[in-house]
A and B are shown apart, each in its own frame.
Chain A
Amino acid sequence: MELVVENLSVARGGLTVLEGVSFSLAAGQALILRGPNGVGKTTLLRTLAGLQPAVTGSVSAPPESLTYAAHADGLKAVLTVEENLQFWAAIHGVGGVAQAMAQMNLTELRARRAANLSAGQKRRLGLARLLVTGRSVWVLDEPTVSLDVASVALFAGVVRAHLAAGGMALIATHIDLGLTEAGVLELAPYKAKTPVATGGFDEAFT
Chain B
Amino acid sequence: MSLWEYANPKKFMQVSAGVLPWVVGLTGLCLVVGLVWGFFFTPDDYKQGSTVKILFVHVPTAMMAINAWVMMLVASLIWLVRRHHVSALAAKAAAPVGLTFTAIALVTGAFWGQPMWGTWWAWDPRLTAFLILALFYLGYMALWQAVEDPDTAADLTAVLCMVGSVFAVLSRYAVKFWNQGLHQDSTILKVGEKDPLDVAYYLPLLVCIAGFVLLFVALVLIRTRTEIRARRLSALQARERIA
Give bound CA distance, A200 to B85, whole Å.
8
Q: Interface stretch among B55-63, B195-203, B231-239? A: B231-239
Kindly report which residue of chain B lies nearest to residue A195, judged by CB atoms.
Answer: B242
Q: Does A61 contact B (CB under 8 A)?
A: no
Q: Mark B50-78, 1 if CB is under 8 A from A, else 0.
A: 00000000000000000000000000000
Q: Taking A199-B85, A204-B8, A204-B10 as contacts, is the C-beta distance between A14 and B150 under 8 angstroms?
A: yes
The distance from the CB of B9 to the nearest CB of chain A, in whole angstroms, is: 5
- A201–B235 contact, CB under 8 A? yes
Q: Mark B121-151, 1 if CB is under 8 A from A, else 0.
A: 0000000000000000000000000000111
- A196–B239 contact, CB under 8 A? yes
| Chain A residue contacts of B232, Cβ below 8 A | 202, 205
Q: Does A197 contact B (CB under 8 A)?
A: yes
Interface range for B: 10 to 19
The distance from the CB of A38 to the nearest CB of chain B, in whole angstroms, is: 10
Q: Mark A173-206, 1 if CB is under 8 A from B, else 0.
A: 0000000000000000000000111111110110
Give bound CA distance, A13 to B151, whole Å.
9
Give bound CA distance, A196 to B243, whole Å.
11
Q: Does B172 contact A (CB under 8 A)?
A: no
Number of interface residues of A (CB under 8 A): 13
Kindly report which residue of chain B lies nearest to residue A192, judged by CB atoms.
Answer: B242
Give bound CA distance, A205 to B236, whole Å.
11
| Complex interface residues of chain A between 1 and 42 (CB less than 8 A to chain B) | 13-15
The distance from the CB of B110 to the nearest CB of chain A, in whole angstroms, is: 43
Kindly report which residue of chain A lies nearest to residue B242, judged by CB atoms.
Answer: A195
- B85–A201 contact, CB under 8 A? yes
Q: Taking A199-B83, A201-B9 as contacts, is the C-beta distance between A13 and B235 under 8 angstroms?
A: no
The distance from the CB of B149 to the nearest CB of chain A, in whole angstroms, is: 6
| Chain A residue contacts of B238, Cβ below 8 A | 13-15, 195, 197
- A14–B151 contact, CB under 8 A? yes
| Chain A residue contacts of B235, Cβ below 8 A | 14, 197, 201-202
| Chain B residue contacts of A15, Cβ below 8 A | 238-239, 242
| Chain A residue contacts of B85, Cβ below 8 A | 199-201
| Chain A residue contacts of B151, Cβ below 8 A | 14, 198-199
The distance from the CB of A139 to the nearest CB of chain B, in whole angstroms, is: 23
- A205–B10 contact, CB under 8 A? yes
| Chain A residue contacts of B8, Cβ below 8 A | 200, 204
| Chain A residue contacts of B231, Cβ below 8 A | 201
| Chain B residue contacts of A197, Cβ below 8 A | 235, 238-239
| Chain B residue contacts of A205, Cβ below 8 A | 9-10, 232
The distance from the CB of B107 to the nearest CB of chain A, in whole angstroms, is: 38
Give bound CA distance, A86 to B101, whole Å.
56
Give bound CA distance, A13 to B147, whole Å.
12
Give bound CA distance, A195 to B238, whole Å.
9
Kindly report which residue of chain A lies nearest to residue B8, judged by CB atoms.
Answer: A204
Q: Mark B92-125, 1 if CB is under 8 A from A, else 0.
A: 0000000000000000000000000000000000
Kindly report which residue of chain B lies nearest to residue A197, judged by CB atoms.
Answer: B235
- A13–B149 contact, CB under 8 A? yes
The distance from the CB of A205 to the nearest CB of chain B, in whole angstroms, is: 5
Give bound CA distance, A14 to B236, whole Å.
12
The distance from the CB of A11 to the nearest CB of chain B, in whole angstroms, is: 10
| Chain A residue contacts of B239, Cβ below 8 A | 15, 195-197, 202
4 smallest A-B Cβ distances: which pairs?
A: A202-B235, A195-B242, A197-B235, A201-B85
Selected A-B contacts with CB under 8 Å, 28 pairs: A13-B149, A13-B238, A14-B150, A14-B151, A14-B235, A14-B238, A15-B238, A15-B242, A195-B238, A195-B243, A196-B239, A197-B239, A198-B151, A199-B83, A200-B8, A200-B85, A201-B9, A201-B85, A201-B231, A201-B235, A202-B235, A202-B236, A204-B8, A204-B9, A204-B10, A205-B9, A205-B10, A205-B232
User: Given A13-B238, A15-B242, A205-B9, 18 other A-B contacts at CB below 8 A?
Assistant: A13-B149, A14-B149, A14-B150, A14-B151, A14-B238, A15-B239, A195-B243, A197-B238, A197-B239, A198-B151, A199-B83, A199-B151, A200-B85, A201-B9, A202-B236, A202-B239, A204-B10, A205-B10
